[in-house]
Every structure is written in structure tokens, then in C-alpha cells.
């Protein structure tokens, strides 16, 4: 069953075409790893999917519902209220965590439930504790982000996204800002979510993780999908030259 | 020839000075409260992506930041009544002038504080479905306020000193009382020394309290450590 349908998605910043017509169907339960060199548009693609960036052209449909409406010049016009609904259904985890530093871990996880959903405090607190326990941080509930390690921060950020019951999760390089020894704890949490059968799109440089977790791998180059397929197809037997070059440069020092 | 200091005539007029101080605190307090509320409104308007909101706010801010406060006071007290036919008491004219004037400076302090918050905080707030106003109220402002306090205090102190101008339109503030006492006692040196001391004590105390608040806020869990 298709949850997300992207057609002809474009985005330009100034004179640069960052996305040049992306077509993408995401089925429920799919786990898509998005790879690509820096500047290939992978983060922008992800950010367009929950409208952190407004798409320049093309359409995005969630659950068969095409978002926005056609404007006078043929462009798509989005209402803020609609996008707010979308963002609650499509959760996002950032490279830099973006935790709220003036709130405790549990405060961060509760915030969306309280402010956006208007959930009563005891209920929101119980739910937030459950999500913190799921990422293994039950005992850090009252801790402020400044006193958490990078890995712990990212796990709180994941709990914050999960609290909103998203139908789909977007991970934007979730381990790129972490010290190497902290990457594992975050990947383990993502792996557990994968095992629950959650739908997720993951921009990552962890090729090994992508190979084990993803059901599909997409290689982006110059703002377009250059190659896609199963992890075996793309990561082990890439057909395109640029994919091969990219993988070679990433595996250069592996053993 | 050595000057013979004699504070007793001035101290005999202490009630007059006390009343002046009370009035100074009244006008300062009024302008401070109105200035903060209006200043926040001006800052939010100026930050609006809608030009019909940001432009007028910017205009008000620039006009009041770039004209002398005494000119503004005279304009509201002497000129505006001619235009609209409403007589203002010295207190009201002063309150209006100093409120808008301090609001213009506060607005810039607030705007700088709001803009100093990283974009990632907006991202984090929007990603869980917050509206712009919710993100501003719950995520951005609470963090921005801490960064605004030092600059804000600077402006608040400036405001209290600026209110002395209201003596020129015969509002009985501390400076006005000082003029009276000095003329009555023929002791300007003692009078103005005492008055300077009063301003010093009040403003110094206020800034010490602000420092305490600042320290306490900084210690309340969050720090700028990332």
C-alpha cells in the first residue's frame, strides 16, 4: 500500500537546481536508505517531504491525498494548517538533534503532545516516559540536553518524534554529528524501529547499516535518482559508474 | 576658600524629595511595562514576513530611535493637542512618549534576541507540528529572553534616566522636586548631590537584582553548552 507518492519534485535555491524532478513511491513498511555525495540533494529531498522546505515544483501525495492546491501560475499552494497536519504524520530526526535546551528530556518528548495535541499533562507525561523507555533513556527523563551525550540526545530526539505517532519517519543523517563510539546506540534504536515494521526514509553515510536495515537503496546524484534497487543490487552490484565511484570512495579504508 | 557642606536644609525637605522619587518610579514603571509589551509587539511585527506588518513597525522604531526624547516629549505635550484637540496631563504625555520611545529600543533588543536562536530550534519545533506562534512562545522566546536580559537592563536604566526630561513639562518627578528644594534652600550643591545619590542607589539596586535573575536563569538547567 502506497503511503507516499512523489512526482516530479523540484527545488531550487537561488540559481542552483537542488532537486531536478524526483519520482518516488514509498510503500507502508518500506525502509529506504538514501545515499549520495554531499550536495546531491538528499537532505533537501527529505526536508521537502515534510515541508520543512517548500517544494519548488511537482506534487507530494500522502495516503493518496495530493497536498496543496494548484495556484494561478500552475504552481502548488500550501496552507500552513495542512502542512502542520502533514508534519505530525511524518516525523523527522535531524543531524544536529535540535532538542529544546530549556526543557528536560521528558519535557522535550512531551512538548508536541501538550502544545500541539493539547493532551493533559499526566497523560502526556506517561506517554513520554514510555517513549523514553523505548529508546533506553527512562532514567534520564529529568536531565537537560546539555548534560546528555550526543547519542543520548539523538535518542531523545527520536523519542520526541515517536511521541507524535508518525506514520512515517525521516532520518536526516542521524549519526553524522556523533562521536564514532556513540553511533552504535543510535543505530540500535533505529534498527529496533525497523523491526517493528515502521516506514522510514534514512539519509545516511553508514553503508553497512543501510545494507542491513534498508529494503531499498536510492543513490542520488545531481538532484535526481541515479540508481535504485535492493541493498544487494545497489550496494553490491551497482550498475552505474557514479554509484560505483561513490561506493568505492566510501569503502576505501574498510577492511 | 573651603565650601561648607550643610545637608540639613535639604534633609528637612525629604518628604518633597520622597514624593518626587515616588513620581519618578511611577512614570518609569508605567513606561517600562507599556514599553515591554509594545516593544515585544513591535519586534514580532518587524520580524513578520508580511511587509505590510514589518514595514510600519520598522518605521515607528526608526523614528523613535533617531529623534531626541526631549523633542518627542514636547511634540506629544505641546504639538499633538493642536492636531487632535486632546489636552494631555504631563504624566500622560510623559507616559506615552517614554513608552513608545523605550518600546522602540526594546523592540530591537527583542528582535536581536529572537534572531540569535539557531534555525535548528525552529526546525525542531515545526517537525512536531507546531505553528509559528506556538514555536515562538514555547521554544524561541524562552531561550531568547535569557540572552536579552543584559541589553534589556541597559535600556531600562537608560529609560529611568530619560524620564528626568519630564521635569521640563512640570511633572513633579525627582528632578523637579530637586529644583524646588534647591531654590527654596539655596543649597543646589547639597540638593543635587543627594538626588544623584538617590538615582545611583535605585538604579544600582535594580541592576543587582537583574544580575541575580540572570544568574538564576542561567543556572536553571539549560546552558549554552551543546
Q: Quick check: B86 contacting A, CB < 8 Å?
A: no
Domain containing B196 — which CATH number? 1.10.3720.10
Return the SS3 of B70.
Answer: helix
Task: Find out whether A154 and A97 touch, Cβ atoms under 8 Å.
Answer: yes
For CA atoms B107, B112, B113, B115, give the dihedral sign. Answer: positive
Residue B29 is assigned to a structural domain of this protein: yes
Which chain A residue shows the shortest CA-CA distance from B225?
A146
Integer Cα distance of A80 and A177 in angstroms: 31
The count of structural domains within chain B is 1
Spell out the domains of chain A, with CATH numbers in brackets: 2-251 (3.40.50.300)
Q: Quick check: B60 contacting A, CB < 8 Å?
A: no
* Beta carbons within 8 Å of B48's beta carbon, 6+ residues apart: B54, B57
When pLDDT is averaged across residues B44-71 and rounded to a whole number, the result is: 93
Residue B3 is assigned to a structural domain of this protein: no
Contacts of A115 in chain B (CB under 8 A): 130, 134, 138
Residue B222 has pLDDT above 60, yes or no: no
Residue B226 is assigned to a structural domain of this protein: no
The model's pTM is: 0.85
Q: Quick check: A130 contacting B, CB < 8 Å?
A: no
pLDDT confidence bin for B1, thresholds 50/70/90: low
Q: What is the pLDDT of residue B220?
A: 64
Give per-residue pLDDT as tens, B158-208: 999 999 999 999 898 999 999 999 999 999 999 999 999 999 999 999 889
Q: What is the pLDDT of residue B215?
A: 84
Nearest to B127 among A87, A101, A115 (CB): A87
Residue A43 has pLDDT above 70, yes or no: yes
DSSP-derived pairing of the beta strands A2-13 and A57-62: antiparallel
Residue B225 is assigned to a structural domain of this protein: no
Task: Find out whether A56 and A11 touch, Cβ atoms under 8 Å.
Answer: yes
When pLDDT is averaged across residues B114-124 and rounded to a whole number, the result is: 95
Q: How many Å separate Cα B158 from the centre of its chain?
A: 7
Nearest to A98 among B124, B131, B223 (CB): B124
Distance from CA of A156 to the nearest CA of B (A): 12
Which of A50, A115, A176 has the highest number of chain B CBs within 10 A, making it the mutation to test binding with B? A115
Q: What is the pLDDT of residue B224?
A: 45
Return the SS3 of A206.
Answer: coil
Check CB contact under 8 Å for B128 and A88: yes
What mean pLDDT is reported for chain A?
Answer: 93
What CA dihedral angle connects A228, A233, A237 and A239, to 10 degrees? -30
Give per-residue pLDDT as tens, A134-173: 999 999 999 999 999 999 999 999 999 999 999 999 999 9
Residue B92 is assigned to a structural domain of this protein: yes
What mean pLDDT is reported for chain B?
Answer: 90
Residue B139 is assigned to a structural domain of this protein: yes
When pLDDT is averaged across residues A185-199 and rounded to a whole number, the result is: 94
Which chain A residue shows the shortest CA-CA distance from B140?
A100
Distance from CA of A233 to the nearest CA of B (A): 33
A102, B118, B140, B157 from B144: Cα distances, Å:
11, 10, 6, 20
Check CB contact under 8 Å for A144 and B226: no
Residue B225 has pLDDT above 50, yes or no: no
Q: How many Å separate Cα B182 from the centre of its chain?
A: 28
Task: Tell me the Cα Rg of chain B.
Answer: 21
Name the residue range of residue B51's domain.
8-219
pLDDT confidence bin for A35, thresholds 50/70/90: very high
Amino acid at each position: 500500500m502506497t503511503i507516499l507518492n512523489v512526482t516530479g519534485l523540484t527545488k531550487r535555491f537561488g540559481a542552483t537546481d537542488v532537486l531536478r524532478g524526483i519520482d518516488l513511491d514509498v510503500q507502508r513498511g518500506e525502509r529506504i536508505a538514501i545515499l549520495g555525495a554531499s550536495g546531491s540533494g538528499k537532505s533537501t529531498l527529505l526536508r521537502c517531504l515534510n515541508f520543512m522546505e517548500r517544494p519548488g515544483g511537482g506534487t507530494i501525495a500522502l495516503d493518496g491525498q495530493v497536498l496543496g492546491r494548484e495556484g494561478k501560475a500552475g504552481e502548488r499552494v500550501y496552507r500552513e494548517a495542512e502542512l502542520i497536519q502533514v508534519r505530525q504524520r511524518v516525523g523527522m530526526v535531524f543531524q544536529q538533534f535540535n532538542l529544546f535546551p530549556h526543557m528536560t528530556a521528558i519535557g522535550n518528548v512531551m512538548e508536541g503532545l501538550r502544545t500541539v495535541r493539547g493532551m493533559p499533562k499526566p497523560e502526556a507525561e506517561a506517554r513520554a516516559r514510555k517513549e523514553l523507555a523505548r529508546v533506553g533513556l527512562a532514567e534520564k527523563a529529568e536531565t537537560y540536553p546539555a548534560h546528555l551525550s550526543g547519542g543520548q540526545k539523538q535518542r531523545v530526539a527520536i523519542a520526541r518524534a515517536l511521541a507524535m505517532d508518525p506514520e512515517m519517519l525521516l532520518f536526516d543523517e542521524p549519526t553524522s554529528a556523533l562521536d564514532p563510539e556513540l553511533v552504535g546506540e543510535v543505530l540500535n534504536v533505529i534498527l529496533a524501529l525497523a523491526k517493528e515494521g515502521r516506514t522510514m526514509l534514512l539519509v545516511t553515510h553508514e553503508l553497512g547499516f543501510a545494507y542491513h536495515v534498508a529494503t531499498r537503496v536510492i543513490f542520488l546524484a545531481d538532484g535526481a535518482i541515479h540508481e535504485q534497487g535492493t541493498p544487494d543490487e545497489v550496494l553490491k552490484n551497482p550498475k552505474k559508474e557514479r554509484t560505483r565511484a561513490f561506493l568505492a570512495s566510501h569503502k576505501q579504508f574498510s577492511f | 576658600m573651603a565650601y561648607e557642606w550643610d545637608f540639613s536644609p535639604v534633609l528637612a525637605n525629604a518628604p518633597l524629595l520622597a514624593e518626587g522619587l515616588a513620581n519618578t518610579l511611577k512614570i518609569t514603571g508605567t513606561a517600562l511595562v507599556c514599553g515591554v509589551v509594545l516593544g515585544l509587539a513591535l519586534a514580532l511585527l518587524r520580524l513578520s514576513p508580511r511587509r505590510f506588518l514589518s514595514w510600519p513597525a520598522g518605521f515607528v522604531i526608526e523614528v523613535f530611535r533617531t529623534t531626541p526624547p526631549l523633542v518627542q516629549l514636547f511634540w506629544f505635550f505641546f504639538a499633538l493637542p493642536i492636531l487632535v484637540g486632546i489636552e494631555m496631563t504631563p504624566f500622560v504625555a510623559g507616559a506615552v512618549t517614554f513608552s513608545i520611545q523605550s518600546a522602540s529600543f526594546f523592540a530591537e533588543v527583542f528582535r536581536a534576541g529572537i534572531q540569535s536562536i539557531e534555525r535548528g530550534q525552529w526546525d525542531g519545533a515545526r517537525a512536531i507540528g507546531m505553528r509559528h506562534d506556538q514555536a515562538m512562545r514555547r521554544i524561541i522566546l524562552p531561550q531568547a529572553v535569557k540572552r536579552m536580559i543584559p541589553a534589556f537592563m541597559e535600556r531600562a536604566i537608560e529609560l529611568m534616566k530619560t524620564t528626568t526630561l519630564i521635569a521640563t513639562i512640570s511633572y513633579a518627578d525627582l528632578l523637579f522636586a530637586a529644583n524646588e528644594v534647591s531654590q527654596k534652600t539655596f543649597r543646589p550643591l547639597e540638593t543635587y548631590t543627594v538626588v544623584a545619590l538617590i538615582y545611583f542607589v535605585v538604579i544600582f539596586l535594580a541592576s543587582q537584582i537583574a544580575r541575580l535573575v540572570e544568574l538564576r536563569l542561567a543556572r536553571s538547567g539549560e546552558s549554552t553548552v551543546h
